[in-house]
C-alpha cells in the first residue's frame, strides 16, 4: 500500500519507502518541516520499524545474485542512466532539498546535486576500468579480483543528504552490491526523489531501496541484520560508535565518516586577504559543514591584521532565505539543533571564553544564528574540543610552526585541515605533520573523487573515494595459477 504523493512547492514527492521496486507506506509517519519556516509542514513521511527494515534487506538479498552476475558494462549502464536523469532533474531536487534542509539553493543547483550525477558516472567508469594487480611469485601467477560483497546498508546525515548518499551508494552499486539507504529523518525528501529516478532508469527491483525513519528504530534494525554484508555510515561519532558495535557483532566491515573540528591555520607569510575571505566561508550554510575549518589558528604577528580582514569579510554575509540568491547564511536545520548550538555558546561564556562577535539567535525570524567568533580561555575549552556544527568559530594564536602543528592536532578529531601559507616547503612540511584525512593548502573543498576520503581519530574509520571505495564494497580475492598451466 502506498500513500498519495505530496506537492512540495510544485514538485511531486513520494513520502513512502521504496522497497523491491515499489512505494510502500507505514502505519506510522513523522512530520517533516522546513527550516526556512518551521510552521511549514512539507510532508508526513513513512516511519519504518524493524518490519520494513526486514522487508528491505530481504529485497536486497534476493536481488543480489543477479545484480552481482551482471557485467561491469551492464551495471555501469544503469548507473549512467541514473546520472543522466539526475542531471535532468537538478532544479527540482535542489529546490526540494533547499526547502527540506535549508542549504543554499544556488549552490545546490550549481554544485551539490550535480555531484550526485558525477558520483554515479565516475564509479561506473572506475569499476569498468579496474585493472587487477597481477604478479608472479613462487611459481604462480597471482591476480587480485573483486567479488561483490552483498546487501549494503548506507546511513546518511541530514546535511547535503542527496550528495552524501550518492557518494556511498554509487560505488556500492558499481561494485555489484545491492543497497538499502536510510536517509536522516530531518531531511528525507531528496533521497525519495532519487528513488523515482531509480525506477525510471529501470533498475531491477530490490537493487536500490530506501527506507525512511528514525535512527534508533529502523537504522538500528538495519545495521543489526546479519544478512547485511557492508555498512557505510556518515554522521556523528556518537552514532558511529553504536553502528560499529552492531557491525562488530556480525563481523561486517564498515566505514564511518564522522564529525570534524578542523583547524584553519594562517601563517604570517600567507596572503591574508585570501585567508580571511576563505575563513569567512566557514560560516556558509550556517556552519553545518563537517569539513569546515572551525578553529582559526593565526600566527601571533599577523593576528590583528587577519582578524580585521576576517571581520570585514564576515560582515558581508547575508542571513536570509536559502532560496534567495543574495543569502549566504542559511538557517539551522531544526529547533533542537539551534538549541544545541546556543548551548555551546552559553557554556563557553560560563567557562570564561570571550565572545568576540555574534552569539545571537535571530529567533523572531526563525532558526538563524549569527556568525560567531569566540576566543577560548584555554585550548581545553569545550568550544575548542567539541564539534558545534553551527556558525561558531574559535580564534587562537601561535608563535611558531611547531606550536601551530601542536594546536592543530590537539583535538580528538581528524577529518580535515586548512593551511594558508605562501611557502610550498612549509605546506609540505606542515601537511605531513597534520593529523587529518584531507588537508587543503590555500584552498577549500576542492575534491577529486578518486582521492581517499575519511577521517583520523574520532572523525572516522576506513576510507572511501575512488578505488578505495570500490575495494571496501568488494571482497578481494587472490587467484593463483601455477606457472605452465596450459591455456585452452
Ligand atoms: P547522526 O549521527 O545523529 O545521524 C546520522 C544518521 O544516523 C541519521 O540517518 C540517523 O537517523 C542515523 N542513526 C541515528 N542513530 C542510529 C542508530 N542507533 N543506528 C543506526 N542509525 C542511526 O548525525 P546527524 O546529526 O544527522 O549529522 C551531523 C553529523 O554528521 C555531524 O557530526 C557531522 O560532522 C557529520 N558529518 C560527517 C561527514 C563526513 O563526511 N565525515 C559529512 C556530513 C556530516
Three cell numbers at 253?
Answer: 566491515
CA–centroid distance, residue 70 to ligand 1 (Å)? 33
Does residue 438's CB lie within 6 angstroms of at least one atom of ligand 1?
Answer: no
CA–centroid distance, residue 222 to ligand 1 (Å)? 15
pLDDT at res. 290: 96
What's 360's DSSP letter?
-
Q: Is 257 a catalytic residue?
A: yes
The 10s digit of each residue's pLDDT in 106-154 is: 999 999 999 999 999 999 999 999 999 999 999 999 999 999 999 999 9
Instruction: Using pLDDT thresholds of 50, 70 and 90, give the confidence band for residue 365.
Output: low
- Average pLDDT for the chain: 97
Percent of the chain with pLDDT over 90: 98
Percent of the chain with pLDDT over 70: 99
Range name among 54-68, 92-106, 279-293, 355-369 with the lowest pLDDT average: 355-369
Q: Is 277 a catalytic residue?
A: no
Q: Which domains does the chain have, with CATH numbers?
A: 6-258+455-478 (3.40.605.10), 262-441 (3.40.309.10)
Contacts 24+ apart (CB under 8 A), 448-456: 449/118, 449/119, 449/122, 450/122, 450/126, 453/257, 454/255, 454/257, 455/257, 455/258, 455/260, 455/413, 455/414, 455/415, 455/416, 456/414, 456/415
Mean pLDDT to the nearest integer, 423-438: 98
pLDDT at res. 313: 98
Does residue 89's CB lie within 6 angstroms of at least one atom of ligand 1?
Answer: no
Catalytic residue, from 61, 257, 299, 370: name it: 257
Closest ligand 1 atom, CA of 160? 43
Which of 439, 278, 330 is closest to 102 using CA atoms? 330
The 10s digit of each residue's pLDDT in 315-346 is: 999 999 999 999 999 999 999 999 999 999 99
Res. 437: pLDDT tops 70: yes
Res. 403: pLDDT tops 90: yes
CA–centroid distance, residue 215 to ligand 1 (Å)? 9
Report how far apart the first and last C-alpha atoms of the chain are (Å, whole number): 54
CA–centroid distance, residue 142 to ligand 1 (Å)? 40
Res. 363: pLDDT tops 80: no
Amino acid at each position: 500500500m502506498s500513500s498519495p504523493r505530496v506537492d512540495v512547492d510544485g514538485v511531486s514527492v513520494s513520502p513512502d519507502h521504496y522497497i523491491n521496486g515499489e512505494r510502500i507506506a507505514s502505519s506510522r509517519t513523522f512530520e517533516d518541516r522546513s527550516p526556512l519556516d518551521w510552521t511549514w509542514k512539507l510532508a508526513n513521511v513513512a516511519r519504518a520499524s524493524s518490519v520494513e527494515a526486514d522487508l528491505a534487506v530481504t529485497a536486497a538479498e534476493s536481488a543480489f545474485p543477479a545484480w552481482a552476475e551482471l557485467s561491469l558494462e551492464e551495471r555501469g549502464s544503469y548507473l549512467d542512466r541514473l546520472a543522466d536523469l539526475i542531471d535532468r532533474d537538478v532544479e527540482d531536487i535542489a529546490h526540494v532539498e533547499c526547502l527540506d534542509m535549508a542549504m543554499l539553493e544556488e549552490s545546490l543547483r550549481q554544485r551539490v546535486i550535480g555531484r550526485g550525477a558525477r558520483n554515479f558516472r565516475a564509479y561506473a567508469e572506475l569499476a569498468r576500468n579496474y585493472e587487477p594487480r597481477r604478479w608472479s611469485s613462487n611459481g604462480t601467477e597471482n591476480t587480485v579480483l573483486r567479488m561483490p560483497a552483498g546487501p549494503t546498508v548506507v546511513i546518511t546525515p541530514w546535511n547535503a543528504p542527496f550528495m552524501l548518499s550518492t557518494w556511498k551508494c554509487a560505488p556500492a552499486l558499481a561494485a555489484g552490491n545491492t543497497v538499502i539507504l536510510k536517509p536522516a529523518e530531518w531531511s528525507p525528501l531528496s533521497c525519495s526523489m532519487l528513488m523515482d529516478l531509480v525506477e525510471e532508469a529501470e533498475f531491477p527491483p530490490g537493487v536500490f531501496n530506501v527506507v525512511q525513519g528514525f535512527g534508533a528504530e529502523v537504522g538500528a534494525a538495519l545495521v543489526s541484520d546479519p544478512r547485511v554484508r557492508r555498512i557505510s555510515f556518515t554522521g556523528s561519532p556518537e552514532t558511529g560508535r553504536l553502528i560499529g558495535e552492531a557491525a562488530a557483532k556480525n563481523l561486517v566491515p564498515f566505514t564511518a565518516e564522522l564529525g570534524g573540528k578542523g583547524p584553519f591555520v594562517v601563517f604570517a607569510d600567507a596572503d591574508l586577504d585570501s585567508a580571511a575571505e576563505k575563513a569567512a566561508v566557514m560560516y556558509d550554510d550556517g556552519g553545518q559543514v563537517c569539513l569546515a575549518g572551525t578553529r582559526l589558528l593565526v600566527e601571533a604577528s599577523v593576528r590583528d591584521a587577519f582578524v580585521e580582514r576576517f571581520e570585514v569579510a564576515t560582515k558581508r554575509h547575508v542571513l536570509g532565505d536559502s532560496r534567495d540568491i543574495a543569502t549566504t547564511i542559511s538557517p539551522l536545520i531544526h529547533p533542537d539543533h539551534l538549541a544545541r548550538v546556543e548551548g555551546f555558546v552559553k557554556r563557553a561564556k560560563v567557562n570564561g571564553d570571550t565572545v568576540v562577535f555574534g552569539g545571537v539567535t535571530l529567533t523572531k525570524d526563525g532558526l538563524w544564528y549569527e556568525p560567531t567568533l569566540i576566543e577560548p580561555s584555554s585550548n581545553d575549552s569545550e568550544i575548542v574540543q567539541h564539534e558545534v556544527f553551527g556558525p561558531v568559530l574559535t580564534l587562537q594564536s601561535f608563535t611558531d610552526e611547531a606550536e601551530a602543528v601542536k594546536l592543530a592536532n590537539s583535538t580528538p578529531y581528524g577529518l580535515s585541515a586548512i593551511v594558508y601559507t605562501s611557502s610550498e616547503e612549509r605546506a609540505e612540511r606542515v601537511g605531513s605533520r597534520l593529523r587529518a584525512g584531507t588537508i587543503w593548502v590555500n584552498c577549500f573543498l576542492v575534491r577529486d573523487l578518486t582521492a581517499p576520503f575519511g577521517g583520523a581519530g574520532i572523525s572516522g574509520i576506513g576510507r572511501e573515494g575512488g578505488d578505495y571505495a570500490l575495494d571496501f564494497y568488494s571482497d578481494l580475492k587472490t587467484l593463483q595459477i601455477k606457472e605452465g598451466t596450459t591455456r585452452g
